[in-house]
Every structure is written in structure tokens, then in C-alpha cells.
Amino acid sequence: MGLFSRLFSELVDVVEWTDDTSDTMVYRFERYGNEIKYGAKLIVRESQFAVFVNEGEVADVLGPGTYELETKNLPILTSLQNWHHGFQSPFKAEVYFCNARRFVDLKWGTKQPLMMRDAEFGGLRIRAFGTYGVRVVDALKFMREIVGTEGVFTTDEISNQLRNLITSRFATVIGGANIPVLDMAANYDQLGEFLTRRIAPEFGEYGLELTRILVENISLPPAVSEALDKRTSMGMTGNLDRYLQYQTGVAMEGAASNPGGGASDGIGMGVGLAMANRMGAGVVGGTPPPVPQPIEFHVAMGDKAAGPFEVIELKSRVTDGSLTPATLVWSPDMSEWTPASKVDALAHLFNSNTVKPPPLPSS
């Protein structure tokens, strides 16, 4: 730095920082030889902290406001510094501005699939990703633990560490939560809140507040996802006849929208085959009705029940005279014993063509 720049620097008596970036967390105010004019104005804006470092030791941390830099306003610095020249010498100190606003939309995600046990599918591998937000709440701790002496410190320099911390704790939480993989999508909000509570204390060790973790997606490997999609499709299809009708309608609509294309011929053929198969299933390949079972009757023979006999057997008994219209009969679908001539299934056996004529009278 030249002489003119040095003189100009010493004449400037306002110490401030306006952030024109979206990722700067700490900025060191640059002065020639780290000299700050005695009585200079320090402006600390909202969402900022100013950290004074004197000869490698933190002297004071100031919140938002306007300060006049003199010994009576900086008691800690006064006790550290041996002031000369009537306490009117420049401050030989560094000023670090900490950005305390919330840094949002920071990314996290699993680099490798996480193994978990699912009650329905057994062992699974899943991936997850989302966003999180942080802000500096303890400037002194953040300076000591993370920043050190860097002049400019951005979110990129700590995001890897924070992302690894979230991913590691996410694996632990998911492994012990016993949430079925099919229910995870319905629990993203609750899962994010639970992760935030679990991980926040570890962020606090860095002087940071973990404001929120968002779980945006939990996914399965492609092969597992494909199998799950097929299973879901089968469940959603339901009535196969209706599904075939729907698919046929879609194919016909596609063919109608492109009547001159070669594809329409193939679609039409496919529709025709589908309809033919559907019609054939109903006419040829349909399930036949059950074969009717012959009706059987029990017959009263004296004071005993004989049978059961099929109708064809009873016809021969009518012929030989052992079954008459007045003979009582019964079948499982009848409520009581009934004369044979009163039963619809047997009444035709007693017409004139069936009943055996009586013997001829003797001459």
C-alpha cells in the first residue's frame, strides 16, 4: 500500500461493512497495519456482530448499533492494551463482521445409499436429499471453532462438514425410527422436524443455530422402484375388464387422431385383437354354468321310506304299479310328504300313456 493510500486510510473514521453477497458469513475489515483511528465510528447493522481481535485475542463482541471507538466504550480492550500518548493512539486491532442473518437453501444429501430394514420389504437401500438453514448466534464461538483468521469466510467452506453431519445423523434416525418406506413420503415434515431437534445441539457447538431441515425426497434404487411401480399398477388396475376397455378406448383415440399414419394400422390391429379376445372370453372361453343335478325322491313304502330314486327309476315303478298317484314322496326341497301326482316333476308320469292298463277281465 502506497503512502497516499495509507494517509487516506487513516483519515477514514467509519468502520462498517455492507454485504453484497449471499454466502459471506464473516468479513474482516481491512485497514493499513490493522490501525483503526481513535474515536472512529463503528456501525454494526441489523443481523451483524462485530468482533474485535487485539494481538490475536478477542477483545469485545458488539451487536447492532453505532459505537464511538474509544477506551471508555471498550473496557475489555482497555484492560488488554497498554495505551500510550494519553490514550489517544490508534487501535492496533482487527475487526471481524459476522453475518447473523439466516442462510437458507443449503443442500444436503446422501452420497451413498443407506441400508435400512423395512417391515414389508425387508432390507432396502435408500437415498435422501433436501435443504437446511443456519445462522450465526454465537459469533465468538464461531470465530474460535470454525473461522480462525480467514479474512472472508463463506458458506461453501463449512457446508461439506455440515452436510456430512446431517447425513450421518439422518442414517441413525431413519435406522431407529422404524417408519415403513411407503409411509415416509407422508412423514417428510415430521421427519425434518425430528432431525432438526436431534442435530441442533451439535450445530450449537460451532456457534450456529440449525433453523430447519427439509426432507425433499427419499428414493429407492431404480430396480426396486420399477418393481414397486408394477405392484402399484396391479393394485390400481382393479377390474381387468374395465382396464381393458379403458386401454382400448385410448388406443382407438390415438388411431383416430392419426388416421394416415402407419402406426394407426398397428394400433387398429391391436384394438381389434383386444376386442376379439374380450368377446371370445365372453362367448367361447367363458365359464359354463354348473351341470344340473338330477332330482331324487324318497318314496313311502308301507310305513318305511325307500330311496332316494331318480325320476327315471320312478317311471319304471309307475309302469309296474308300485308307484301310484297317491303314493307319498319327498325330496330335500320339499317341506313335507306329498302325493306323487301333486309334484310337478312327477305329475307327467301318471298320464294315460304312461300308466299301465289294468288286466283284462276274464271271459
Among 69-73, 89-93, 138-142, 313-317, the range with the most confident prediction by mean pLDDT is 138-142
What integer pLDDT is reported at residue 296 of this predicted model?
Answer: 81
The topology under which CATH files domain 103-220 is Tetrahydropterin Synthase; Chain A (3.30.479)
Residue 274 has pLDDT above 90, yes or no: no
Among 247-261, 286-300, 319-333, the range with the most confident prediction by mean pLDDT is 319-333
Rounded to whole angstroms, how far apart are CA atoms 287 and 155? 71
What integer pLDDT is reported at residue 8 of this predicted model?
Answer: 45
What integer pLDDT is reported at residue 187 of this predicted model?
Answer: 80
- Whether the model clears a pTM of 0.75, i.e. scores above it, the answer is no
SS (H, E, C) 252-298: HHHHHHCCCCHHHHHHHHHHHHHHHHHHHHHHCCCCCCCCCCCCEEE
| Percent of the chain with pLDDT strictly greater than 70 | 70
Residue entry with cell 388406443:
251
**Counting beta carbons within 10 angstroms of the beta carbon of residue 88, is it exposed (0 to 12), middle (13 to 18) or buried (19 or more)?**
exposed
Q: How confident is the model at residue 336 (pLDDT cuts 50, 70, 90)?
A: confident
What are the cell numbers at 121? 420389504
What integer pLDDT is reported at residue 227 of this predicted model?
Answer: 72
Residue entry with cell 435422501:
128
Rounded to whole angstroms, how far apart are CA atoms 228 and 222? 10
- Closest by CA position to 153, among listed 208, 85, 232: 208
In this prediction, residues 22-42 reach a mean pLDDT of 80
Rounded to whole angstroms, how far apart are CA atoms 236 and 351? 61
What would the pLDDT profile of 98-109 be if each residue is shown by its tens digit?
999 999 999 999
Calculate helix-pair angle for 156-177, 188-204, nearest 10 degrees.
130
Cβ-contact 26, 153 below 8 angstroms:
yes
Among 35-39, 95-99, 275-279, 289-293, the range with the most confident prediction by mean pLDDT is 95-99
What are the cell numbers at 252? 382407438
Q: How confident is the model at residue 238 (pLDDT cuts 50, 70, 90)?
A: low
Cβ-contact 343, 360 below 8 angstroms:
no
Mean pLDDT of all residues belonging to the chain: 76
Residue 53 has pLDDT above 60, yes or no: yes
What would the pLDDT profile of 56-104 be if each residue is shown by its tens digit?
778 788 899 988 877 565 655 555 454 444 445 566 778 899 999 999 9
What are the cell numbers at 234? 396391479
- Closest by CA position to 32, among listed 14, 59, 69, 5: 5
Using only the alpha carbons of the chain, give its radius of gyration: 48
> Which carries the bigger pLDDT value, residue 205 or residue 272?
205
Name the least confident of 81-85, 86-90, 174-178, 261-265.
Answer: 81-85
Q: For the chain, what is the largest distance between any 2 Cα atoms, rounded to a whole number of angstroms?
A: 174
Q: Give domain limits for the chain.
A: 3-99, 103-220, 296-350
- Closest by CA position to 64, among listed 114, 102, 116, 99: 99
Residue 275 has pLDDT above 60, yes or no: no
What are the cell numbers at 256? 383416430
Residue entry with cell 309307475:
318
Helix (H) or strand (E) holding 142: helix 139-142
Cβ-contact 167, 175 below 8 angstroms:
no
Cβ-contact 68, 121 below 8 angstroms:
no
